[in-house]
């Protein structure tokens, strides 16, 4: 309990001026297969290994709040910063024990991790879901075990919202709409407001909250501009390599692209590489307008270099915000179910070098 009280004090000091970034379909229950039995055995073995390791260390984990974090993966700079935010927040010094699992962008790995957390009897489970659907069964298991679940970044589509305590993340639809509004003003300022504008989109992982919301937000703005033509959309899986591959395909299929919308910064970096390799230019003085989402440091460097036009913020530093929620739950307080965080955008008209100096990610 002493360390739990210390965690409350440490969290209050850490939350400060945080600004940040982003319901499962029902699963049917079938008779256990050999694969399911194997998974259950692996999960139980992991739990026993964890208990044995703790016993060997002589550490009194009863004084710590144990948090299991089922992370999407390490597909982007944003995700790396998000992971570091949790690891630096949920430390023993702050009164926590963090059990971290990298799902490598596979939902089945996250489900396995959640079941492992349940077996290990963690105090809280945090999930940044790979996709929005297919979570009800495993969350029911967590609920039956009496373990609160907190969602970070991405959302889930659930018929029963009592399966989680709170969600923290960005308003992805608003991000997409903000991008559309920025683009309309930018084109107007260039004297191109009435021109036919040919666009392509490099989407994120299909079904992920950020992909769904940003696509929807941009669609809302497409309806307002009959001269905007969306030529094609393909998934870049939120990675630089796939973003480059998709952009190479677009450039071969569509010779007159005016705008590339990338649903994260890393996809934009890949798209920029493809544009240069094709002998074209991009950015404020180039042939193609490139915009993206997340606003990681490398995006600022790309804007300063003159390749990227704008980036729309999705702050990854969720660790302190989730810790704040946990401390409220520890004290029996109510928490807001949905917690959108403040976000901004950045473009080449701003003093980017000075802004970059103060960026934490």
DSSP string, 55-78: HHHT--GGGSEEEEEEE--S-SHH
The SS3 assignment for 128 reads coil
Clarify whether residues 28 and 147 are in a common domain: yes
Q: From CA 331, how far away is CA 22, in angstroms rounded?
A: 28
Smallest Cα–Cα separation from 166: which of 19, 330, 322?
322
Lowest mean pLDDT among 58-67, 165-174, 262-271: 58-67
pTM confidence score: 0.77
Question: The tokens 């009496």 sit on which residue?
Answer: 146
The distance in angstroms from the start CA to the end CA of the chain is 33
Strand partners, 229: 198
Q: Is residue 108 part of a domain?
A: yes
Q: Rounded to an integer, what distance in angstroms lies between the CA atom of residue 88 and that of residue 97?
A: 11
Distance CA 27, CA 300 (A): 42
| Same domain as 108, residue 71 | yes
Number of domains in the chain: 2
pLDDT tens per residue across span 214-251: 999 999 999 999 999 999 999 999 999 999 999 999 99
Digit-coded pLDDT (tens) for 178-228 = 999 999 999 999 999 999 999 999 999 999 999 999 999 999 999 999 999
Residue 338 counted as domain residue: no
Radius of gyration of the chain (CA): 22
pLDDT class of 14 with cuts at 50, 70, 90: very low
Q: Are residues 70 and 152 in the same domain?
A: yes
Calculate what percentage of the chain has a pLDDT beyond 70: 83
From the list 58, 132, 54, 98, the residue with the least C-alpha distance to 322 is: 98
| Structure confidence by residue, pLDDT tens digits, 40-84 | 444 444 444 444 444 333 344 568 999 999 999 998 999 999 999
| Same domain (yes/no): 282, 325 | no
**Rounded to 5 degrees, what angle do the CA atoms 163, 169, 170 make?**
135
Same domain assignment for residues 69 and 207: no
Cβ neighbours of residue 221 closer than 8 Å, sequence gap 6 or more: 176, 177, 179, 180, 181, 183, 184, 228
CATH code of residue 6: 3.40.50.2300
Instruction: Say if residue 83 is in the same domain as residue 191.
Output: no
Whether the pLDDT of residue 86 is over 60: the answer is yes
Q: Given this model, what pLDDT does residue 342 score?
A: 77
Residue 291 and residue 303: Cα distance in Å, rounded? 10
Q: Is residue 180 part of a domain?
A: yes
Which residue range forms the structural domain that includes residue 191? 172-313+347-357
The β-bridge partners of 25 are: none
Q: Are residues 309 and 321 in the same domain?
A: no
Q: Which residue has the higher pLDDT, 56 or 9?
A: 9
Same domain? 110 vs 143: yes
CB 264 within 8 A of CB 296: no
Q: Do residues 43 and 160 both lie within one domain?
A: yes
E-strand spans in the chain? 65-71, 96-102, 124-127, 149-152, 166-169, 197-203, 228-235, 259-262, 289-294, 310-313, 338-340, 345-347
Residue 55 domain-assigned?
yes
Does 129 map to a domain?
Answer: yes
Does some domain include residue 336? no
* 114 and 45, same domain (yes or no): yes
250 and 196 in one domain? yes
Q: Does 140 fall in a domain?
A: yes
Ranking 24-38, 126-140, 161-175 by mean pLDDT, the lowest is: 24-38
Tell me, yes or no, whether 156 and 233 share the same domain. Answer: no
Q: What does the pLDDT look like over 89-140, one tens digit per residue?
A: 999 999 999 999 999 999 999 999 999 999 999 999 999 999 999 999 999 9
Q: Tell me the two tokens of residue 287.
A: 């042939």
> Which residues are paired to 69 by β-bridges?
100, 126
Q: Read off the tokens for 134.
A: 């297919």
Structural domain contains residue 342: no
């Amino acid at each position: 309990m002493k360390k739990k009280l210390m965690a409350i004090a440490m969290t209050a000091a850490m939350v400060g001026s945080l600004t940040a970034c982003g319901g499962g379909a029902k699963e049917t229950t079938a008779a256990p297969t050999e694969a399911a039995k194997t998974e259950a055995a692996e999960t139980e073995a992991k739990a026993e290994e964890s208990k044995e390791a703790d016993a060997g260390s002589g550490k009194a984990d009863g004084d710590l709040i144990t948090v299991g974090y089922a992370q999407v993966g390490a597909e982007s700079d944003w995700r790396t910063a998000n992971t570091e935010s949790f690891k630096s927040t949920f430390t023993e010094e702050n009164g926590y024990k963090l059990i971290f699992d990298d799902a490598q962008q596979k939902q089945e790995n996250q489900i396995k991790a959640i079941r492992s957390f349940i077996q290990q009897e963690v105090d809280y489970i945090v999930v940044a879901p790979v996709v929005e659907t297919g979570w009800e069964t495993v969350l029911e298991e967590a609920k039956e075990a009496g373990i609160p679940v907190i969602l970070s970044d991405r959302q889930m589509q659930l018929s029963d919202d009592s399966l989680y305590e709170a969600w923290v993340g960005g308003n992805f639809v608003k991000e997409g709409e903000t991008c559309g509004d920025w683009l309309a003003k930018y084109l107007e300022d260039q004297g191109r407001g009435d021109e036919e504008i040919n666009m392509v989109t490099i989407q994120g992982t299909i079904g992920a909250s950020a992909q769904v919301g940003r696509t929807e937000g941009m669609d809302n703005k497409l309806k307002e501009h009959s001269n905007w033509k969306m030529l094609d959309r393909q998934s870049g899986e939120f990675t630089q390599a796939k973003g480059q591959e998709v952009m190479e395909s677009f450039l071969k299929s569509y010779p007159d692209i005016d705008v590339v919308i990338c649903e994260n910064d890393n996809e934009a970096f890949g798209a920029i590489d493809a544009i240069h390799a094709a002998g074209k230019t991009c950015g404020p003085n180039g042939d193609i307008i490139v915009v993206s989402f997340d606003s990681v440091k490398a995006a600022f460097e790309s804007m300063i270099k003159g390749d990227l036009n704008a980036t729309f913020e999705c702050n990854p530093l969720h660790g302190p915000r989730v810790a704040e929620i946990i401390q409220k739950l520890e004290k029996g307080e109510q928490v807001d179910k949905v917690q959108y965080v403040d976000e901004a955008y950045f473009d080449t008209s701003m003093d980017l070098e000075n802004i970059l100096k103060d960026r934490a990610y």
